[in-house]
Amino acid sequence: MQTAADPQQPMQETKPLNPWLTIWVKPRTTIRYILNHKFLGFAFLLSILAGIGNTLDQASSRDVLDNMDLGLPLFLLGAVIFGAITGIIGWFLTSLVAWGVGKIFKGTATYKEMLLATAWANIPIIIALVLWVPDLMVMGEGAFQSDYVVGSFIGAVYIFFSVFVQIVLAGWYFFILIKAVSEAHRFSSWLGLCTLLIPGAVLTILFIPILLLAMF
């Protein structure tokens, strides 16, 4: 895990980096490099791909084809379009919240810097999206249905492996996101964690009374 001796000072890179490789083990150094050298345009593509990946994951967990008679090709087309739109919207909102909450802790990121940081933090989600290619080859429509039955031992092993990798990548994404927000704001990783957790805690506190009122 990488830590900064002085979180108020931006970390300086010493040579060109390949963010697709270095962000896994040197997230803060990589994000600082991105903030200094990358343009915002490519970040749109990263957010779109992440949105598509999240849409497929949500559709799979909810077994959406149990109640739809679309066929796999039409469903995937809709998922790509819907995922692209929600990916952009989610990117803007996540960046806005992280930028605004971080100001409470005297973070110094601009909104553009936060957009770049959160977009590139999506790399694990994009890698997970690539895994959908073999997933669909193995399971087809069954990936989005509750009654899918694994047809072979090899298929069962592959599905177990795929799920395991997805879980690891999800955890790695959150770790990188914490580091990305922290580096953009130029403060510690603990403050980065708080920046991401506080909005969820506030929403939970607000939601509980509404839920209780709805129950009685």
- The packing angle between helices 27-37 and 111-120, to 10°, is 130
pLDDT at 82: 97
* pLDDT grade for 13, boundaries at 50, 70 and 90: very low
| Residue-wise burial string across 23-36, b where 16 or more C-beta atoms lie within 10 A, e elsewhere | beebbbbbbbbbbe
C-alpha triplet 6, 11, 16: angle, nearest 5°: 165
Q: Residue 8: is its pLDDT beyond 70?
A: no
DSSP 127-195: HHHHTHHHHHHHHGGGGG-TT----SHHHHHHHHHHHHHHHHHHHHHHHHHHHHHHHHHTS-HHHHHHH
Alpha carbon of residue 186 to chain centroid: 21
Q: Which of 45-54, 76-85, 150-159, 160-169 has the lowest mean pLDDT?
A: 150-159
Taking the C-alpha atoms of residue 181 and residue 179, their distance in angstroms, rounded to an integer, is: 6
Highest mean pLDDT among 116-125, 133-142, 151-160: 116-125
* pLDDT grade for 165, boundaries at 50, 70 and 90: very high
Under 8 Å between Cβ of 118 and 91: yes
Amino acid (one-letter) located at 101: V
CA atoms within 13 A on the CB side of 134: 11
pTM here is 0.86
* pLDDT grade for 79, boundaries at 50, 70 and 90: very high
Write down the mean pLDDT value for the chain: 88
Q: Where are the domains of the chain?
A: 19-215
Taking the C-alpha atoms of residue 72 and residue 77, their distance in angstroms, rounded to an integer, is: 9
* pLDDT grade for 93, boundaries at 50, 70 and 90: very high
Alpha carbon of residue 210 to chain centroid: 28
Q: Residue 193: is its pLDDT beyond 90?
A: yes
Q: Residue 3: is its pLDDT beyond 60?
A: no
* pLDDT grade for 216, boundaries at 50, 70 and 90: low
Placement of tokens 């193995």 in the chain: 138
Residue 22: burial class (beta carbons within 10 Å; 0-12, 13-18, 19+): middle
pLDDT at 143: 87
**Residue 84 has which token pair?**
């692209």
Taking the C-alpha atoms of residue 121 and residue 116, their distance in angstroms, rounded to an integer, is: 9
Average pLDDT over residues 37-41: 84
